[in-house]
């Protein structure tokens, strides 16, 4: 398997990205290869010569870098030789089986969608993350690829995230909920209501109806469908709140007694490890014709290593084939075809 990585993506690039790639090597199979994408003069000096000789790691030159704050579509247009643009080309030209970046999320989504295209039957790809919770892992789609969701997109997010949850997290018949602002059927905005009607027409999905923000951590569902805007706020709110709460606890413990704070430290570390989303190695862009993982901008080497291992699992379980098969047989296969044509027209 050939795994291409944006060496320049993220706050700690290229150092942590390359370190993560190197850390993964011993876990890879003999015929796996890593392709690092970015400016050769910045990447090659960081690679041990032994590694290059063995042919495990190669470099594909990309002189430009898209910054975290750059406008996604504009910067892709202005920087066709950026590491993200070249990465997407490798995925498209079938020179890589998986692409990974911790760079500008919007630019990644746009580049992967534009170059690699969607899987047959998929209207819009969605970013999918796994929340580790006391009730088990909860798969959430979309968390920021699509800020203009239609019911067909949301329905498809439910299908794709279910296939992911079943095949990669080994959850049999995953319970699917849709994020809304009330548990009852009558509640939610128009998008939620229309999506619910679509899902109910698909007897294969184990749909439990509306869920609310507080339900994520209650173990009542395995998959949550949500609009990209809402999902992104949820993801970042969770990150900020966990961080803020641990800081508040630390502060209070220090005021109480330093010895108590020291005793609490290993407990905190254990909770961090148990619920560390870095374990899942980033977010999959589900629905793309390929394997695409987008990592957190603050990714350290460990996240990159985990993302590489996650891409291997995703690829080898042939999740994409299962998605295509499902949609070919979906009650909305025809309407999707029409909708997709419109989507492409309006995108281009």
Interface with a second copy (CB under 8 A)? 69, 71, 106, 133-134, 144, 147-148, 179, 181-184, 186-189, 212-218, 226, 228-230, 232-245, 247-249, 251-253, 256, 260, 263-264, 266-268, 270-271, 274-275
Are 77 and 53 spatial neighbours (Cβ–Cβ below 8 Å)?
no
Residue closer to a second copy (CB basis): 244 or 331: 244
What is the nearest approach in angstroms of a second copy to the Cβ of residue 235? 7
Residue closer to a second copy (CB basis): 61 or 187: 187
The residue written with tokens 């749909």 in the block is: 207
Q: How far apart (Å, rounded) are the C-alpha atoms in residues 55 and 192?
A: 50
Non-local CB neighbours of 307 within 8 Å, separated by 6+ positions: 20, 100, 281, 282, 293, 295, 299
What is the nearest approach in angstroms of a second copy to the Cβ of residue 219? 10
What are the beta bridge partners of residue 31?
Answer: none
Residue closer to a second copy (CB basis): 37 or 143: 143
What is the nearest approach in angstroms of a second copy to the Cβ of residue 286? 18
Q: How many CA atoms lie within 13 A of 102 on its CB side?
A: 32
Q: How far apart (Å, rounded) are the C-alpha atoms in residues 174 and 165?
A: 7
Residue closer to a second copy (CB basis): 39 or 228: 228
Question: Computed from CA positions of residues 67, 68, 74, 77, in that sequence, does the dihedral angle turn out positive or negative?
Answer: positive
Question: Computed from CA positions of residues 179, 185, 189, 195, in that sequence, does the dihedral angle turn out positive or negative?
Answer: positive
Residue closer to a second copy (CB basis): 48 or 240: 240
What is the nearest approach in angstroms of a second copy to the Cβ of residue 310? 23
What is the nearest approach in angstroms of a second copy to the Cβ of residue 100? 21
Are 183 and 211 spatial neighbours (Cβ–Cβ below 8 Å)?
yes
Structure tokens at 10: 């993220």
Residue closer to a second copy (CB basis): 79 or 305: 79
What is the nearest approach in angstroms of a second copy to the Cβ of residue 74? 8
What is the nearest approach in angstroms of a second copy to the Cβ of residue 197? 17
Cα–Cα separations (whole angstroms), residue 317 to 16, 29, 200: 28, 15, 28
Q: How far apart (Å, rounded) are the C-alpha atoms in residues 40 and 60?
A: 7
CA angle 314, 319, 324 (to 5 degrees): 150
Residue closer to a second copy (CB basis): 149 or 152: 149
């Amino acid at each position: 398997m050939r795994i291409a990585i944006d060496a320049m993506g993220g706050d700690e690039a290229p150092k942590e990205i390359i370190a993560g790639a190197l850390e993964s090597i011993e876990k890879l199979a003999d015929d796996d290869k890593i392709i690092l994408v970015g400016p050769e003069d910045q990447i090659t000096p960081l690679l041990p010569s032994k590694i290059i000789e063995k042919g495990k790691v190669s470099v594909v030159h990309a002189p430009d870098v898209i910054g975290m704050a750059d406008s996604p579509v504009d910067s892709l247009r202005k920087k066709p030789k950026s590491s993200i643009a070249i990465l997407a080309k490798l995925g498209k030209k079938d020179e890589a089986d998986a692409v990974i970046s911790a760079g500008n999320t919007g630019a990644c989504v746009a580049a992967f969608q534009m170059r690699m295209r969607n899987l047959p039957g998929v209207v819009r790809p969605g970013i999918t993350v796994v929340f580790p919770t006391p009730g088990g892992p909860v798969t959430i789609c979309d968390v920021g690829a699509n800020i203009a969701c239609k019911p067909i997109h949301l329905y498809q997010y439910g299908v794709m995230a279910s296939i992911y949850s079943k095949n990669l997290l080994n959850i049999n018949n995953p319970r699917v909920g849709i994020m809304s602002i009330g548990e009852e059927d009558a509640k939610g905005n128009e998008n939620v209501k229309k999506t619910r009607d679509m899902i109910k027409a698909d007897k294969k999905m184990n749909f439990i109806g509306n869920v609310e923000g507080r339900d994520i951590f209650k173990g009542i569902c395995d998959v949550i469908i949500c609009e990209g805007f809402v999902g992104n706020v949820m993801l970042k709110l969770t990150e900020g709140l966990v961080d803020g709460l641990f800081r508040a606890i630390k502060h209070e413990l220090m005021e109480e007694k330093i010895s108590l704070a020291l005793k609490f430290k290993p407990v905190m570390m254990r909770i961090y490890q148990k619920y560390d989303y870095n374990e899942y190695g980033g977010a999959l862009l589900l629905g793309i014709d390929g394997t695409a993982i987008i990592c957190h901008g603050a990714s350290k080497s460990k996240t990159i290593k985990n993302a590489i291992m996650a891409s291997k699992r995703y690829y080898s379980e042939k999740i994409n084939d299962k998605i295509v098969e499902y949609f070919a047989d979906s009650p909305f296969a025809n309407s999707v075809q029409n909708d997709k044509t419109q989507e492409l027209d309006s995108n281009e």
